[in-house]
Amino acid sequence: MKSQEMALALAEAANEKKGFYVRILDLRESAAFTDFFVIATGASDRHVRSLAAAVIEAARRHGEHPIGVEGEQTARWLLIDLGDVLVHLFQREARDFYGLERLWDDTSALDLPRVAGGLG
């Protein structure tokens, strides 16, 4: 599966679990270490873990397995590394504090027609 298709599938999985502010940043022109960031916010540590479980399950359904998962203990910022796609799941305060969108503001966001309901 192409990395863009995987990013869309993972964003859709986060959206289906009621993730907030689901975004995909296209880093193909900006970074050598990955192609896309999928970013979503959960309302609590339990919600962030639920989002992570849904994202990991979606990746497995598409034949991918995480290289690593970090941050499961506190679930304030949970990172799922799938190589060409990195998924960042935050609680609201952590997302605001770390501001990945601000750090990567020179990248473009991928249109999310299939996940538009979870953008806000």
- Whether this prediction's pTM lies above 0.85 is answered by yes
Which domains can be identified in the chain, with CATH numbers?
Answer: 3-113 (3.30.460.10)
Q: What is the pLDDT of residues 10-31, one digit of tens each?
A: 999 999 999 999 999 999 988 8
In percent, the amount of the chain with pLDDT more than 90 equals 75
Burial class (CB in 10 A: 0-12, 13-18, 19+), 31: middle
Q: Is the pLDDT of residue 116 over 50?
A: no
Tokens encoding 116: 């538009």
Q: Is the pLDDT of residue 59 over 70?
A: yes
Q: Which residues pair with 90 in a beta bridge?
A: 41, 77
Question: What phi and psi, each to the nearest 5 degrees, are found at residue 18?
Answer: 70, 35
